[in-house]
């Protein structure tokens, strides 16, 4: 009896994919928080599948870096039709693989702090890097990067490592943008305040910041939105810095070897529609790439509004990253 049930179960498993193959399948490589049950992934999938006779199949990779690495390894034989979850730091390297196709999406609806005209990458959300602080531990956070650097060393901050994490790299670029060639010196001054440099954002936020280890952590300006909207607490806020904040844009692109290019382009177009974008603010906790008007949750009005968006062209980043990284390492280990 048990064996029979098991055999039936196996049979069902064997036929399940075969059955699903009737409709066209769009394979999307993405990262875990996008595809999470409560992330934008499932909602977007449902909305898009209603407009097309197709099915979205997410393949979840650890990070943007992994998506790129996977794409490089698979080359032209990749199953991916669309890659979603790269950002301005990994964009250029991905472009250089030559594995991506132009999008043909109308970018006029974009509502980013910068002008975006890239032929390959379509942004789907954006945000600023910022230091999030615990108002109970730190009622008066520094008002500028300069003030943070000049603060006494008993103000502790948690940052992420630019060698292994996106926000970490963001801070590196932020410092570079503000201080240019003086960045290394400023890093050396900042060093005494850095409690630790974690591998990933999650390690720092969960293990350290939420345990109260330091009152400030490198994060996103949108982080408080989640705490305010879902956790219903104003305790965690982002500190607004006078010099401006470094911008991160998350992008998607079409894979050149895809046999579902038409569908893929439809998906990229759909990405800039309200049906996709409305899931971004609270489910991805970032700014939507288009103007959502009244649909933007009200907590977003309470977030900091940086006066200037700091941004390096992806090409500049890709050309200089290694050198800037080495300067940073030097300054930090001296």
Partner 1 sequence: MNNLAKRQQHGLPMPSTPGRPAPFSRPGWQLWPGLTIASALVLLSVAGLGALIWEASLPDISQLWQSRYLRTVVTFTIWQAFLSVLLSLLVAIPIARILARQPAFPGRAVLLRLMELSLVLPSIVAVSGLVSVYGRQGWLTGFSSDWLGVSWNLYGINGIVLAHVFFNAPLAARILLQAIEGAPPSQLRVAAQLGLGRWWYWRAVEWPAIKPVLPGVAALVFTLCFTSFAIVMTLGGGPAATTIEVAIYQSLRFEFDSGQAALLAMVQLIICGFLWWLAARRGLTASLLPDRRVASHRTKAGSSLQARLADGTVLGLFVLFLVMPLLAILTRGLPGMGSAFFPQGSFSVNPALLDATVRSLAIALPAGLMSVCAALLILASGTTSKRPAITRLTDVAAYLPLIIPPLVLGTGLFLLFRPSLGSSSEGLVLVTLINAMMALPFVLQMLKGPLGSLDSASRQQADQLGVLGWYRWRWLHWPRMRKPLALAMAYGTGLSLGDFGVIALFGTPGQPTLPVLLYQQLGSYRMDAAAATGLWLVLLLLVLFSVFNRLGSPLHKTGLATTSPRRVPEPEHA
Smallest gap, in angstroms, from Cβ of residue 185 to partner 1? 16
Q: Which of residues 126-165 bind partner 1 (CB under 8 A)?
A: 156, 161, 163-164
39 in contact with partner 1 (CB under 8 A): yes
Quick one: which of 213, 242, 256, 275 contacts partner 1 (CB under 8 A)? Answer: 213
- The dihedral region occupied by 198, where left means phi > 0, alpha psi between -120 and 50, and beta the remainder, is beta
The answer for residues whose C-beta is within 8 angstroms of residue 163's C-beta and 6 or more apart is 325
Quote the crossing angle between the two packed helices 40-51 and 261-271, to the nearest 10°: 120
Radius of gyration of the chain (CA): 21
Q: Smallest distance from the beta carbon of 66 to partner 1, in angstroms?
A: 7
Which member of 95, 110, 175, 197 binds partner 1 (CB under 8 A)? 197
3-state secondary structure of 28: strand
Count of residues binding partner 1 (CB under 8 A)? 72
CA distance 180 to 213: 31
Q: Would you count residue 93 as binding partner 1 (CB under 8 A)?
A: yes
When asked if residue 9 is in the footprint of partner 1 (CB under 8 A), the reply is no
Taking the complex as a whole, the smallest distance from the CB of residue 241 to partner 1 amounts, in Å, to 22
Check binding of 320 to partner 1 (CB under 8 A): no
Q: What distance in Å separates the CA atoms of residue 20 and residue 283, rounded to the nearest whole number?
A: 27
**What are the CA-CA distances from residue 232 to residues 74, 137, 296 (Å)?**
44, 18, 17
Name residues contacting partner 1, limited to 236-275 (CB under 8 A): none
- Binding track, positions 46-75, relative to partner 1; x by CB under 8 A: -----------xxxxxxx-xx-xxx-xxx-
Binding partner 1 (rule: CB under 8 A), the pick from 32, 113, 119, 297 is 32
Of the candidates 8, 51, 143, 199, which one interacts with partner 1 according to CB under 8 A?
A: 199
Q: CB 182 → partner 1: shortest distance, Å?
A: 19
By the rule CB under 8 A, 316 interacts with partner 1: no
Residue 152, helix vs strand vs coil: coil
CB of 106 to partner 1, least distance (A): 29
Q: Which of 43, 54, 112, 208 binds partner 1 (CB under 8 A)?
A: 208
- Which ranges of the chain would DSSP assign to H, the alpha helix? 2-20, 32-35, 40-51, 64-74, 91-96, 145-150, 166-179, 183-190, 201-202, 223-229, 261-271, 274-277, 280-283, 314-333
Q: Is 214 in the site for partner 1 (CB under 8 A)?
A: yes
Please state the φ and ψ torsions of residue 271, each to the nearest 5 degrees. -60, -30
Least Å distance, CB 295 to partner 1, is 20
Nearest distance, CB of residue 187 and partner 1, angstroms? 10
Q: Map residues 10-29 to x or -, x wherever contact with partner 1 holds by CB under 8 A.
A: ---x---x---------x-x
User: What distance in Å separates the CA atoms of residue 89 and residue 249, rounded to the nearest whole number?
Assistant: 9
Interface region with partner 1, contact rule CB under 8 A, candidates 104-112, 199-207, 240-248, 292-300: 199-207
Q: Which of 209, 208, 130, 200 is nearest to 164 (CA)?
A: 200
Please report, as residue ranges, which positions from 94 to 123 form the binding site for partner 1 (by CB under 8 A): none
What is d(CA 28, CA 31) in angstroms, rounded to the nearest whole number? 10
Q: Residue from 148, 155, 195, 317 that binds partner 1 (CB under 8 A)? A: 195
In the complex, minimum distance from the CB of residue 101 to partner 1, in angstroms, rounded to a whole number: 19
Rounded to 5 degrees, φ, ψ at 137 are -90, -25
Is residue 223 a contact point for partner 1 (CB under 8 A)? Answer: yes
């Amino acid at each position: 009896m048990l064996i029979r049930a098991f055999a039936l179960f196996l049979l069902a498993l064997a036929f399940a994919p075969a059955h699903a193959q009737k409709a066209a399948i769009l394979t999307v490589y993405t990262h875990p928080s996008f595809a999470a049950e409560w992330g934008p992934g499932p909602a977007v999938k449902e909305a898009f599948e209603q407009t097309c006779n197709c099915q979205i199949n997410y393949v979840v990779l650890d990070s943007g870096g992994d998506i790129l690495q996977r794409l490089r390894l698979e080359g032209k034989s990749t199953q991916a039709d669309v890659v979603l979850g790269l950002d301005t730091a990994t964009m250029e390297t991905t472009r250089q693989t030559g594995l991506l196709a132009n999008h043909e999406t109308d970018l006029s609806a974009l509502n980013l702090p910068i002008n975006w005209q890239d032929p390959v990458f379509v942004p789907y959300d954006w945000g600023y890097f910022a230091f999030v602080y615990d108002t109970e531990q730190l009622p008066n956070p520094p008002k500028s990067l300069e003030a943070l650097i000049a603060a006494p060393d008993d103000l502790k901050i948690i940052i992420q490592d630019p060698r292994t994490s996106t926000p970490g790299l963001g801070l590196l670029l932020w410092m570079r943008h503000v201080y240019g060639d003086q960045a290394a010196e400023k890093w050396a001054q900042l060093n005494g305040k850095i409690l630790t440099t974690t591998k990933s954002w999650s390690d720092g936020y969960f293990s350290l910041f939420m345990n109260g280890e330091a009152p400030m952590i490198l994060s996103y300006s949108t982080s408080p939105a989640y705490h305010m909207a879902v956790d219903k607490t104003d305790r965690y806020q982002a500190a607004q810095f006078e010099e401006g904040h470094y911008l991160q844009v998350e992008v998607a692109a079409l894979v050149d070897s895809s046999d579902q290019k038409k569908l893929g382009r439809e998906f990229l177009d759909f990405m800039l529609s309200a049906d996709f974008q409305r899931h971004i603010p609270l489910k991805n906790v970032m700014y939507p790439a288009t103007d959502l008007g009244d649909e933007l949750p009200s907590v977003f009005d309470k977030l900091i509004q940086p006066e200037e968006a700091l941004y390096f062209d992806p090409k500049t980043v890709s050309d200089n990253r290694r050198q800037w990284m080495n300067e940073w390492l030097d300054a930090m280990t001296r």
